[in-house]
């Protein structure tokens, strides 16, 4: 059983935690409900790296992939992909010859992504600052777009800034960097790296979230 501090277990059982689970269970299939529980367990085990106890809602997943030109994109990079909840939305719209490199540090969540069984998906069981290495693996010069749900507020500042810098350096000119967050605490990371940062609130998620669109 996971080594979880008592307060995390209480949080998972709190009215907000139960409401989130109940909403997900009512509105999703059995497979998705199992993923919700699997993600919750990973959150209890490693809240510092997952940054949340719940996976993104459909509204948040759609906002996370907004502004991506799926007609032209062939290489999409996803950072902090979790069990692949946003990845599935990307794959639904990705060109048949496209590739998604999905970074995730949790081995259990990487297994969930591999189970999606899509040849276009490259699961990078690695930390996101190694983006250059994984682009080289698929013979890509740059990423056309990058989508991140990494909880930078919970990571050391140096690591967070190095991931954002590596993202900017490996993003094709004109590509988007879309960041999902629950607070705007690290907005300055993106302001320092990109020319423009636009914030968009997504209320239909527990907790309500932000997507920052950076160019
Ligand atoms: C907030 S969860 C998002 C999961 C999923 N994309 C979603 O939207 O529900 C953040 C994920 O980032 C992963 N993560 C944390 N640090 C990371 C790093 N340095 N490199 C890659 N993934 C990381 C965590 O393990 C966790 O699964």
Distance of CA 27 to the CA centre of its chain: 21
Q: Judge whether 197 and 187 are in contact, CB under 8 Å.
A: yes
Ligand 1 atom, smallest distance to 80 CA: 12
- Range among 18-22, 36-40, 128-132 with highest mean pLDDT value: 128-132
- Condensed to tens digits (0 to 9), the pLDDT of residues 144-165 reads 999 999 999 999 999 999 999 9
Of the listed ranges 10-19, 99-108, 143-152, the one predicted with least confidence: 10-19
Residue predicted with more confidence, 19 or 132: 132
| Nearest-angstrom CA–CA distance, 125 and 67 | 27
CB under 6 Å to ligand 1: residues? 49-52, 55-56, 79-82, 85-86, 103-106, 109, 127-128, 149-151, 180
pLDDT band at 54 (very low <50, low <70, confident <90, very high): confident
The answer, yes or no, to whether residue 135 has pLDDT greater than 60, is: yes
What number does the ligand 1 atom closest to the CA of 54 have? 9
Closest CA to 77 of 31, 23, 140: 140
């Amino acid at each position: 059983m996971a080594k979880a501090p008592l307060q995390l277990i209480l949080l998972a059982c709190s009215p907000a935690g139960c409401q989130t689970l109940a909403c997900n269970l009512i509105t999703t299939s059995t497979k998705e409900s199992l993923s919700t529980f699997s993600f919750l367990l990973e959150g209890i085990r490693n809240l510092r790296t997952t940054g949340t106890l719940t996976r993104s809602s459909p509204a948040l997943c759609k906002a996370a992939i907004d502004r991506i030109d799926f007609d032209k994109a062939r290489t999409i990079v996803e950072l902090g992909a979790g069990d692949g909840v946003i990845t599935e939305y990307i794959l639904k719209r990705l060109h048949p010859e496209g590739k998604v490199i999905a970074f995730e540090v949790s081995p259990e969540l990487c297994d969930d992504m591999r189970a999606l069984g899509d040849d276009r998906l490259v699961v990078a069981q690695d930390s996101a600052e190694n983006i250059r290495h994984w682009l080289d693996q698929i013979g890509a010069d740059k990423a056309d777009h990058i989508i991140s749900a990494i909880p930078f507020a919970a990571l050391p500042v140096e690591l967070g800034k190095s991931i954002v810098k590596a993202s900017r350096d490996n993003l094709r000119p004109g590509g988007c960097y879309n960041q999902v967050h629950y607070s705007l605490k690290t907005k300055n990371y993106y302001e320092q790296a990109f020319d423009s940062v636009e914030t968009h609130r997504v209320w239909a998620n527990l907790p309500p979230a932000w997507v920052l669109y950076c160019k």
